[in-house]
Structure 1
Amino acid sequence: MTQTPLLLASSSPYRRELLERLGLPFTTASPDIDETPQPDESAEALALRLAGSKAQALATQYPGHWIIGSDQVACLPDGTLLHKPGNHEQAVHQLQQSSGHAVLFLTGLTLLDADSGRTQHHCEPFSVRFRDLETREIEAYLRREQPYDCAGSFKMEGLGITLFSGLKGRDPNSLVGLPLIALTDMLRHWGRNPLLAP
């Protein structure tokens, strides 16, 4: 029996590397969506909406596919959203804001059947407690990893782990951008078990 092909709606090399761990064949494509938060939109609602929008944006171009959309939102205890910093100055500011605090990362995940329109949605929470960071530590870290395309200004899969005093959540992969436990659950729900895949 031919398996429905999988499409990862992302240009992120981090998400691609994560999905490769499941051992399932897939292709990638970059969705073009507006990621601007809506007025009074909660962090969780934003993460879910963006994940769904990414998958939906590619549905007509990729009939016959199951499309995986994922997006991450990070927020400080006061609700302030942490976006991708884009440059060194903003990254310094973000890490100064995060220093000594628990930052909540919410990763929205959508699995969409492009033909039938059926979908599954999930939001995976993961909390990171930052150590009290000295300015020289922040500068040294940013010079070494330059995580300017990462929400929260760090790379969990690299030296970013040295910034933390603790992690809390069921799936650390969600910090990198794709919650594999939840995705495995979704695939199994539709009859695709990565462990039993041909």
Structure 2
Amino acid sequence: METTAAPATIRTRVNIPLHFPDGYETAAQVHTFNGLTDGAEHLALVLGDPDPAETPLVRLHSECLTGDVFGSARCDCGPQLREAVERISERGGILLYLRQEGRGIGLYNKLDAYAIQDSGLDTYEANTVLGLPEDARDYTAAAQMLAALGVDSLELLTNNPDKVRGLRDLGLNVTGTAPTGVFATGTNLRYLEAKVTHTGHSIALASLAA
């Protein structure tokens, strides 16, 4: 079903040079918005030189302060963000940086869930113990942002089938998906395994053991 949310509008466009710790550099045209349904300060980064005649590559990246900023090895969010920026820059497309810390439960709750995971539960079980949804994210604002940018058809850079379903339910034409890389370490393997077994993420963990 299509969203009934009012259209969002572009509030600001600003060019920002990006520089990553490994030396990779690119440029982004960063967009802010008015009228997003959840009132959050989400960002759209237009990367590379998108061809209006081609289907853009789009990544919905949920904010992860611990991984994106501090380089936490408990998840794969930081490496996914770094990879997405380069791949989208090469092809041309959009990275939506969504303020959905901890799959939508917030930073403090995410850290509380980390403490519970240290007792042996996985990331989804820990949320349940806290009385929170396993995944509280809603992609209506993402659909509004894409509409404001004139995008109604896209290829999604993701391993998460829920993102595909979410955008399609909101009326967007997701023509296909491109999987992200596998960024498994000794400290995030249980987290990645939970995403594969619990929510069907297409992460090729089996190939690591081969």
The verdict on a shared fold, with TM-score over 0.5 as the criterion, is: no
TM-score scaled to structure 2, two decimals? 0.27
